[in-house]
A and B are shown apart, each in its own frame.
Chain A
Amino acid sequence: MDEHRSSIELRLPSRLGFEKVAMNTAASVANLMGFSSERIEDLKTAVAEACINAMEHGNKFDDTLSVGVILSMGPDTLEVKVLDTGNGPQSHMAAPDIDKKMHEQEEARGMGMFLIESLVDEVEWVSSPPAGSYARMVIRLHPAKQ
């Protein structure tokens, strides 16, 4: 594959189910770049969760608003930005506490950001109202060398 940085852009409706378009596109790109199947599975979950967050919390499931997805390929990194029109997360998401969930002291939902943080090598949430916000995720072919 060409070592120059190149990118792919998608625009998804803010409708559940379409996150799989981004997820499968990211998986295809990562496969072309030579990522292992385990890392590709990690990326698929992270991209799907970021898109769902953007549809739900960013765009409030407004069908007239799109979720943008930009995949940028570097020599040994794949960066995925997921953009929406919201203000971004208002607080850092704590790790889920399964005991609290099982005792109904914490909502059963709310694990998306935790999974994203756990599954990619780098993640940041950038808020720039009124333009919107984005999640930026990076996976590396050789994480130990970075």
Chain B
Amino acid sequence: MQEKVTQVKMEELQCDSGAPVTVLRFAGDITSASTAAVLGTYQGIPESIKRILLDFSGVDYLNSSGIALIIQMMISASKNGQTIQTFGLKPHFQKVFTMVGITKYTALHPDERTACAAFSA
């Protein structure tokens, strides 16, 4: 049995503020098998990009190892002076993110528009 593969799509956006934003759109499962999908994809973002959106709308299953990968990505982003906004997490995973304290380092938004707007707030 194979773990469900993590799909990730990287897109460039122009939020209202005009500054370029990179969106990582995740789908499927995020687990210990997602290192390449999470950290590998993040490493493909140029350091000149300072605004990153994480879209979890398509994520069905996220476990503690997957959350650890998200934290590792946030550590790298912090070192690179990048800001991360997050949206699309299902209510249960919003609760889990809050429990482990990730919300101290990235805000959880209900949708892409709100998350985008938060960059200029």
What is the interface of chain B, defined by CB distance below 8 A to chain A?
1-4, 31-33, 61, 63-65, 67-69, 71-72, 74-75, 78, 90-92, 96, 99-102, 104-105
Contacts and interface: CB of A to CB of B under 8 A. Distances in A.
Interface stretch (A45-53, A71-79, A120-128): A45-53
Interface string A33-48: 0000010011001001
Contacts of B1: 15, 17-18
A112 interface: yes
A104 interface: yes
- Dominant SS among interface residues on chain A: helix
A94 interface: no
A11 interface: no
Contact of A118 (B65, B68, B99): B99
Contacts of B90: 41
B104 to A, nearest CB: 6
A20 B61 contact: yes
Interface stretch (A2-10, A84-92, A95-103, A138-146): A95-103
**Chain A interface size, under 10 / 10 to 19 / 20 to 34 / 35 or more:** 20 to 34
Interface of A: 15-20, 38, 41-42, 45, 48-49, 52, 96-99, 101-102, 104, 107-112, 114-115, 118
B3 A17 contact: yes
A99 B71 CA distance: 11
Contact of A45 (B3, B71, B92): B92
A110 to B, nearest CB: 8
A5 B63 CA distance: 30
A52 B63 CA distance: 9
A3 B63 CA distance: 33
9 A-B pairs closest in CB distance: A98-B101, A41-B92, A108-B68, A17-B3, A109-B68, A111-B64, A108-B71, A112-B64, A17-B1
A19 B66 CA distance: 14
Given A18-B1, A49-B64, A101 B33 contact: no
A110 B63 CA distance: 11
Nearest to A42: B92
